[in-house]
């Protein structure tokens, strides 16, 4: 079993109590696989206990990327959160821990 980290990179941004996490394929050929396996439902389940609102996914085929918008994800908001990482900067690293199923003959294509 591979990890999302093997085929994609990621960055977290914050606005108020909303976190956005990009997931970008190192190799554009993996984009369909990202679309298929990194679903909003899976992301929501992955962040169970951290994200309390809706997870919305935007697709950017031109840059082989997905953008996840996670509502109620930052402990009430960056400026008031009690959390150690109030911005949620480290959430991208948590998402890259997601398990991904690669086709058997797969070239992982890490940049």
Partner 1 sequence: MRTIRIGSGAGYSGDRIEPAVELAEKGDIQYLVFECLGERTVALAQRARLKNPDDGFDPLLEARMRAVLPPCAKNGIKIVTNMGAANPWAAARKTAQIAASLGLSRLKIAAVMGDDVLEACKQHDLPLLEIDGTLKTLGNRIVSANAYLGAEPMAAALKAGADIVITGRASDPALFLAPMVDAFGWPMDDWDLLGRGTVAGHLLECAGQITGGYFADPGFKDVVGLARLGFPIGEVSEDGGLVITKVAGSGGEVSARTCKEQLLYEVHDPARYMQPDVVADFSQVTVEEIGPDRVRVSGGRGTQRPDTLKISVGYVDGYIGEGQMSYAGPGAEARARLALEIARERLKLTKVEASEWRFDLIGIDALHGERRSHGGAPYEVRVRVAGRTDTLAEAVRIGDEVETLYTNGPAGGGGAFKSARDIVAVASVLLPRDLAAPQVRFVEA
- Residues near partner 1, by CB under 8 A: 5, 9-11, 13-18, 20, 22, 24, 26, 47-50, 58, 60, 62-63, 65, 67, 69, 76-80, 82-85, 89-91, 94, 97, 110-111
Structure tokens at 51: 């994200």
| Radius of gyration in angstroms for the set of CA atoms belonging to the chain, rounded to a whole number | 14
Q: What are phi and psi of 93, to 5 degrees?
A: -65, -35
CB of 15 to partner 1, least distance (A): 6
Closer of 31 and 33 to partner 1 (Cβ): 31
CB of 84 to partner 1, least distance (A): 5
State the sign of the Cα–Cα–Cα–Cα dihedral 102, 47, 80, 93: negative
Closer of 33 and 91 to partner 1 (Cβ): 91
């Amino acid at each position: 079993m591979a990890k999302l980290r093997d085929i994609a990179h990621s960055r977290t941004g914050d606005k108020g109590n909303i976190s956005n996490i990009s997931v970008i394929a190192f190799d554009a050929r993996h984009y369909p696989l990202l679309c298929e396996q990194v679903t909003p439902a899976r992301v929501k389940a992955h962040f169970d206990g951290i994200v309390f609102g809706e997870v919305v996914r935007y697709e950017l085929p031109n840059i082989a990327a997905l953008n996840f918008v996670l509502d109620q994800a930052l402990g009430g908001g960056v400026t008031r959160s009690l959390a150690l990482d109030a911005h949620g900067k480290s959430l991208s690293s948590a998402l890259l821990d997601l398990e991904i199923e690669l086709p058997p003959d797969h070239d992982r294509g890490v940049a």
